[in-house]
Amino acid sequence: MSSENRSHFSASCSGVTEEARAKINLALHVTGQRADGYHLLDMLVTFAECGDRLGFLPAQADAFTLSGPFGETLAGDSGTNLVLRARDLLRETLGALAFPVHIHLQKNLPIASGIGGGSADAAATLRGLMRLWGMSLPVESLSSLALKLGADVPMCLESRPLIARGIGERIEAVPQLPAFAMVLANPLKGVSTPEVFRRLAAKNNPALHLAPGLSGTSGWLTAIGSARNDLEAPARELVPEITVILQMLRAHGALITRMSGSGATCFGVFTSMAAAQEAASALHGERPDWYVQATETVSGGM
Ligand code: C5P
């Protein structure tokens, strides 16, 4: 972190910080569609150590600042930014005691990239502001408020391994899921989630079945390897580089590769963090214009 960024997070002991971890869809099965157009999904989800970082400080008036490698891409988007929508929605719910706040977002994750950046930021805003404002909400009220911000926001509130069903709101923790050494790679071409869903040919695909009592890294990797991301085919039509990324991750030793969310970020699971870091620097050398990140995911036991 640069000294400029660090100062945003250590400016005052009365402020709080929150991590907005990258969300990784280890599996994403599209099993149907609701009458309102939203798709029914079965997802096995984990979260990575890498992510965005948010700082919250009491202020005279509301303010929002950005830094980080992808901060500039978001500048000027203050009307639709999910961080500000989360702040406003929470304030509406909590009322007058929700005093003005300076929110700083260090944007480390690429935008519209299938690893939940915006959703993770919104969830971190809800968590951070409740801490700053010294208030809490019942779990059910908080998750329905999160769902209003986006289908992935309730799971990002959890930020630990889980299975999500419905449109993402029916969440079950997966404490047995181990940590994985991973490389994330993205060609820095944003993907529109609605557009990927629109291109999806089959909406009624087989559900995700994980054998009960799965344990150990190799057992989980076998199970994940036989699952799917049903959005991969339509996303490849929009971003042909996805095919190349998956091939490159395999060529550098990934045990399993897959696209996350609606893309275009793909991940490879490696035998160790040393192997992941080696693969990431080789990939970065070959494609310096891509986002490439070695990271460890959190384990279900955390
Ligand atoms: O809820 P969120 O803002 O993340 O969704 C973005 C868009 O993706 C929705 O407007 C919808 O078109 C599509 N979507 C969907 N089914 C889901 C989640 C999202 O069709 N389960």
Q: Respond yes or no: is residue 23 known to be catalytic.
A: yes
- Round the average pLDDT of the chain to a whole number and report it: 93
* pLDDT at residue 295, rounded to an integer: 98
Dihedral angle over CA of 176, 179, 180, 185, nearest 10: 110
Q: What is the pLDDT of residue 39?
A: 97
Average pLDDT over residues 56-85: 89
- pLDDT-based confidence at residue 13 (cuts at 50, 70, 90): low
The pLDDT score that the predictor gives to residue 97 is 85
Tell me the pLDDT tens digit for each residue of 151-177. 999 999 999 999 999 999 999 999 999
Query: Could you check whether 3-173 and 181-296 share the same CATH topology?
Result: no
The single-letter DSSP state of residue 110 is P
- What does the domain layout of the chain look like in residue ranges? 3-173, 181-296
Per-residue pLDDT, 1: 41
Which pLDDT belongs to residue 9? 53
CB 154 within 8 A of CB 147: yes
Tens digits of per-residue pLDDT, 226-263?
Answer: 999 999 999 999 999 999 999 999 999 999 999 999 99
**Considering 42, 52, 152, 230, which one is annotated as catalytic?**
152
Catalytic status, residue 36? no
- Kindly state the average pLDDT of the residues 139-146: 94
Specify the pLDDT at position 79.
55
- According to CATH, the topology of domain 3-173 is Ribosomal Protein S5; domain 2 (3.30.230)
d(C-alpha 214, C-alpha 212), whole Å: 6
The Å distance, Cα 203 to ligand 1 centre, comes to 14
Question: Of 23-32, 74-83, 97-106, 170-179, where does mean pLDDT reach its minimum?
Answer: 74-83
Q: What SS3 state is found at 205? A: coil
pLDDT digits (tens, 9 = 90+) for 213-226: 898 999 999 999 99
Q: What is the pLDDT of residue 300?
A: 95
Whether residue 4 is predicted with pLDDT greater than 50 in this model: the reply is: no
Q: What is the average per-residue pLDDT within 47-72?
A: 96
pLDDT value of residue 96? 81
Four-residue CA torsion sign, 111, 113, 118, 123: negative
pLDDT score recorded for residue 172? 96
Structure tokens, 252: 């550098």
Residue 11: per-residue pLDDT: 44
pLDDT of residue 5: 47
Quote the pLDDT of residue 75. Answer: 82
- Given a cut of 60, whether residue 123 has pLDDT beyond it is yes
pLDDT at position 74 is 86
Q: Which atom of ligand 1 sits closest to the CA of residue 39?
A: 16
For domain 181-296, give its CATH number from 2.40.50.100, 3.30.70.1560, 1.10.10.10, 3.30.70.890: 3.30.70.890
User: Burial of 156 by CB count in 10 Å (0-12 exposed, 13-18 middle, 19+ buried)?
Assistant: buried
Tell which one of 31, 39, 111, 205 to mutate to probe ligand 1, the residue whose CB is within 8 A of the most ligand atoms.
Answer: 39
pTM comes to 0.94
Q: Which residues pair with 258 in a beta bridge?
A: 267
pLDDT digits (tens, 9 = 90+) for 14-52: 899 999 999 999 999 999 999 999 999 999 999 999 999
Between the CA of 167 and the centroid of ligand 1 the distance, in Å, is 8
